[in-house]
Chains A and B, each alone.
Chain A
Amino acid sequence: MNTKAAPIERHTIAVLVDNEAGVLARVIGLFSGRGYNIESLTVAEVDATAHTSRITIVTSGTPEVIEQIEAQLRRLIPVHKVTNWTVAKPGIEREMALVKVVGTGDRRAEAMRIAEIFRARIIDTAHTSFVFEITGAPSKIDNFIDLMRPLGLADVSRTGVAAISRGPEAM
């Protein structure tokens, strides 16, 4: 198939899996082995009694590659369900980041002012530093980090994307 000219799209895919040893390695190994991209990956148990985990993967590729990714994920034995939030149903995406900014004087005041605009919370403060907690779409977090960079950005920890559908329907 000639996919060279096809546009690259960004998709968010949720995978519901049995929470068993090695399941994350199976998913990651599938991506690396077949040359697919992972832009972000989030995983945690979502149902302790059913022993299921939800893996949310942000990936990019041509429509053909995205179709293959979903099909290949469905082939894995411990996978219950695969949903593409970008195509199948309109989804909501959120990410959380912890952002450390080091500085004094005007720069420190400016960091606080911008944090307020972004509704970031201060969760740790010292004489020369803040740790902000910010939640939002990944692009909002990107913007926040960009603005903090000249103000003494020292460290960033991001969770990766969590996604869910709008309306009453579940995965």
Chain B
Amino acid sequence: MDRDDTLQGVKTGAIEMTGAQMVIRALKDQGVKHIFGYPGGAVLPIYDALFADDEIVHVLCRHEQGATHAAEGYARSTGKPGVVLVTSGPGATNAVTGLTDALMDSVPLVVLTGQVATHLIGNDAFQECDTVGITRPCTKHNWLVKDVGDLSRVIHEAFQIATSGRPGPVVVDIPKDVQFKKGPYHGPDAVRHRTYKPKTDPELGAIVKAIELMANAKKPLFYTGGGIINSGPDASRLLRELVKLTGFPITSTLMGLGAFPASDPQWLGMLGMHGTFEANNAMHDCDVMICLGARFDDRVTGAVDKFSPDSKKIHLDIDGSQINKNVRVDVPIVADAAKALKEMLHFWKTQRRKVDAAALASWWKQIEQWRAKNSLAFKNSNTLIKPQYAIDRLYELTRGREVYITTEVGQHQMWAAQRFKFEEPNHWMTSGGLGTMGYGLPASIGVQMAHRDALVIDIAGEASVQMTMQEMSTAVQYELPVKIFILNNQYMGMVRQWQQLLHGGRYSHSYSEALPDFVKLAEAFGAVGLRAEAPGELDAKIKEMIDVKRPVLFDCRVDPHENCYPMIPSGKAHNEMILSDAEEEKTEVSDEGKMLV
């Protein structure tokens, strides 16, 4: 076996090395600078090769889930793949949440897992699990490499698949004996995949049809998503140009925030379950919907049978399976967002297209009426910190800096999405599809690793943040001055809100009887703890947090009973939003509605 590989190596001019050395070499050839991981028995040879290397920076996380979320934060904030190295068995199973999260949100991750030696596979060996079996449904693709001769090719293929087309996570499972064996190393150019050829160029016929619909629209609306951000900075730039050129209103999904500047007057705010009144009503009433890189998620559409009933729909997506999945569309465009936007602009200009200015003016008039509802308004307090107020102050006091925001999952996430104004793509990292509590803290570590001088803030809830709290230790070890800004309302706030709305106010297990003292906890980790309990002291404490050049746990005690509005209740349409507690009491949710998550 070894001899054959050597001969083959001589023939192709490939360099011979061990599997473990190949892993490191392949990562370097892929331009990897940082990896997130956790050692263990089945990856010791790779960690040994890493020890001998002084170029790749390894970030030792405290749990493999933390490593995967850190890699996600790294990937989303840089546009580069996040790389994770973990051991077999529990190392791999702990990575499953991060893999699923990355799959749902189209984040490019390359996760390398150790596996027991090939002769032990299937024997219930120590720390053995069927990693490729377990991760098959939560990866874009995965491999078990049983022959060292395949290893370098598979790793390069893994990077290609993770980063091209619709990005996603991949797993390469490497048995320990393969890491020790020697074989020929092949560079990234050796990859020629037989079947994987994602389509990225748009069909021009579809582009022309889309332009035609847009030019004749009376009530048009751009509805954009994470696909714009995943496509790269060009897509955001071209989107801005197209939106300016047409003068159409634009809204975005949770994942798409930042692709279009929130300070722009054409921006209607986020849409969906907790989107703005103007964005959702515009979705309902529009006659031409231009969906770019979004996927008609249930959090966006509300009741599908009542979704935007009178519109012609254009749908651009790089993943053909998204077309007609939840909502039937009129003009599908399967392509990369930047390439499609470029063609849309080209045809709009060369065909000298003009919008229906009179119709557009009256559409804007209608939108301004909806906007005047000021649906994000809240009743502030002199004694209690309202969570909305805390986010507003955080935004104001960090303006003008290079700020990256991550979040956990729940009310705080929605308030952050509604209120923090993002001007640029790749500055907002949140778990959208999977809704993973515990995402934000490790994600902020990944972001800070890639942007050492930026201000990286995890807007957190006290329940979520405890799920991956151990990663504070990672932040301290690598001197990553992440700011964990906890909106502490002592409840799993979104669970409590739904129990109030749908379950008669029976708050079953959504209150945390015993919470840690977050200030002392911060100190125990070797970080800085800060606390704000009254509105009057908030600004000074936030400034202190910003000025501290160390990791901070900020315990922001907020009103425990505040609900997140506006809201489309389960089973309702975009034009059936509720804006306040008073309206919520009058709203009846059907049994069918209650069934929805």
Contact = CB atoms under 8 A, between A and B. Distances in A.
A1 interface: yes
Contacts of A78: 195
Contacts of B304: 1-2
Which range holds the interface residue count of chain A?
Answer: 20 to 34
Contact of B161 (A64, A77, A79): A77
Interface string B313-338: 00000011101111110000000000
Given A21-B144, A79-B195, A33 B321 contact: no
Contacts of A87: none
Contacts of A71: 320-321, 323, 325
Q: Top 9 nearest A-B pairs by Cβ distance?
A: A71-B321, A77-B141, A2-B305, A33-B137, A80-B195, A72-B321, A77-B196, A75-B321, A71-B320
B572 to A, nearest CB: 16
A71 B327 CA distance: 15
B321 A29 contact: no
Interface of B: 132-133, 136-137, 140-141, 144, 161, 193-196, 304-305, 319-321, 323-328
Contact of A77 (B133, B140, B324, B327): B140
A18 interface: yes
Among A1, A21, A29, max chain B CB count under 10 A is at A1
B136 A1 contact: no
Given A68-B325, A74-B320, A77-B161, 9 more contacts: A2-B304, A33-B137, A68-B321, A68-B324, A72-B321, A75-B320, A77-B140, A80-B194, A80-B195
A29 B135 CA distance: 11
Contacts of B324: 1, 64, 67-68
Given A71-B323, A74-B320, A29 B137 contact: yes
A22 interface: yes
Contacts of A68: 321, 324-325
A78 B136 CA distance: 13
Contact of A18 (B137, B140, B194, B321): B194
Contacts of B327: 1
A51 to B, nearest CB: 9
Contacts of B321: 68, 71-72, 74-75
The majority secondary structure among interface residues of chain A is helix
A18 B545 CA distance: 55
Contacts of A75: 319-321
Interface of A: 1-2, 18, 21-22, 25-26, 29, 33, 64, 67-68, 71-72, 74-75, 77-80
B296 to A, nearest CB: 9
A72 to B, nearest CB: 5
A68 B193 CA distance: 25
Contacts of A67: 324
A72 B133 CA distance: 19
17 contacts: A1-B324, A1-B326, A1-B328, A2-B304, A2-B305, A22-B132, A25-B136, A26-B136, A29-B137, A64-B328, A68-B324, A75-B321, A77-B140, A77-B195, A77-B196, A80-B194, A80-B195
Nearest to A78: B195
Contacts of B328: 1, 64
A39 to B, nearest CB: 22
Contacts of A21: 144
Contacts of B195: 18, 77-80
A48 B103 CA distance: 33
Nearest to A64: B324
Contacts of B137: 29, 33
Nearest to A63: B324
Nearest to A76: B141
Contact of A25 (B133, B196, B319): B133
Contacts of B325: 68, 71
A1 B326 CA distance: 5
A17 B195 CA distance: 9
B131 to A, nearest CB: 11
Nearest to A70: B321
Given A1-B304, A1-B327, A18-B194, A29 B144 contact: no
A79 B194 CA distance: 9
Contacts of A77: 140-141, 161, 193, 195-196
B136 A29 contact: yes
Contacts of B320: 71, 74-75
A75 B326 CA distance: 17
Nearest to A21: B144
Contacts of B193: 77
